[in-house]
Structure 1
Amino acid sequence: MYELKTKENDNSVIEFIESVDSIKKREDAYKLLDIFRETTGYPAKIWGPSIIGFGSYHYKYASGHEGDAPLVGFSPRKAKISLYFATGDTEREELLKDFGKHTTGKACVYINKVADIDVDVLKALINRSIAFLRETYPNEKGD
């Protein structure tokens, strides 16, 4: 049976951020930590080896695959900073139009630095993602 690699664990968020090589990425990680904490009201937790997540929800797909994931999160990766928001929400795409310099992947939004983006739009993306996941998985446990 498939086992999810990205699980919440007890690793230290601060130790993880301090392990980031780039000083500028570390500074941005601390800025994002404050923004995500203040916006969500959830404490930061490490998910898998390198995602800083906030809150959690339980998902179950029609295929039967299910698991837990953070509501929102970020990871200061070597190349870019990955931001994790809910996918499948059309409002996310509208908000991204005013977000600032970024690229998108299937599930992630990538930025080079916090200075490139509109922090108010980031807060709106965080709030919208949480609302979307609560609407999509209403009967599932959530923190």
Structure 2
Amino acid sequence: MTEITPEQFLQTIEDPQRRADCTRIHDMMLAASDWPAKMWGPCVIGYSSYKYKYPSGHSGETFRIGFANRKNQITLYILWYPDKDDPLLAKLGKHKIGKGCLYIKRLSDIDESVLEQLIARAVREFGQRHEIVE
């Protein structure tokens, strides 16, 4: 974690369009969750937190939802177990998915109302988790 606030971090994003997109995503996540935001590294904003423990004994703490401003895309951590046949993803627009992540280049490539629905769903699904055991 870092000492700067998410709002301070957002102001450091050099590209004005990327800064606007990340600020909008930050606003969406705050509105959907009402969870406190903090930096979880140099470029990741996470909202709330939960503890997890694996059967191997490995344990830790991470955010419930979040996003990162990466070099080539914005990574949203809202799809813990993505389903390629998800009807919301089918309506989202230009994106890619990975294990637990949704990747977009810019908000203008997607339907923001669908992204808001995906964020709201992530908040519902992960809002009550305190510990995950896999």
Q: 1:80 aligns with which of 73, 78, 88?
A: 73
Seen in structure 2, the aligned counterparts of structure 1 residues 36 and 83 have a Cα distance that, compared at 3 Å, is same
1:111 aligned residue: 104
Shift of 1:66: 1.4
Shift of 1:125: 1.6
Residue type of the partner of 2:44? I
Q: 1:120 aligns with which of 113, 127, 130?
A: 113
Shift of 1:92: 8.8
1:64 aligned residue: 57
Give the TM-score, by structure 2 length: 0.83
Give the TM-score, by structure 1 length: 0.79
2:9 aligned residue: 16
Secondary structure of 1:63 counterpart: coil
Percent identical across equivalent pairs?
36
Gaps of 5+ in 1: 1-7
Distance 2:59 2:87 in 1: 28
Q: Is the 8 A contact 2:76 2:101 kept in 1?
A: yes
Q: C-alpha root-mean-square deviation of aligned residues, in Å?
A: 2.4
Deviates more, 1:119-128 or 1:106-115: 119-128
Deviates more, 1:89-98 or 1:27-36: 89-98
Secondary structure of 2:91 counterpart: coil
Secondary structure of 1:35 counterpart: helix
Seen in structure 2, the aligned counterparts of structure 1 residues 127 and 43 have a Cα distance that, compared at 3 Å, is same
Residue type of the partner of 1:87? W
Cα distance per residue 1:5-36 (max 9 Å; x no partner) = xxx44422122112212111101111111111
Cα distance per residue 1:64-115 (max 9 Å; x no partner) = 2211111111112221111111422559944322221101122321101112
Gaps of 5+ in 2: none
1:27 aligned residue: 20
Residue type of the partner of 1:20? I
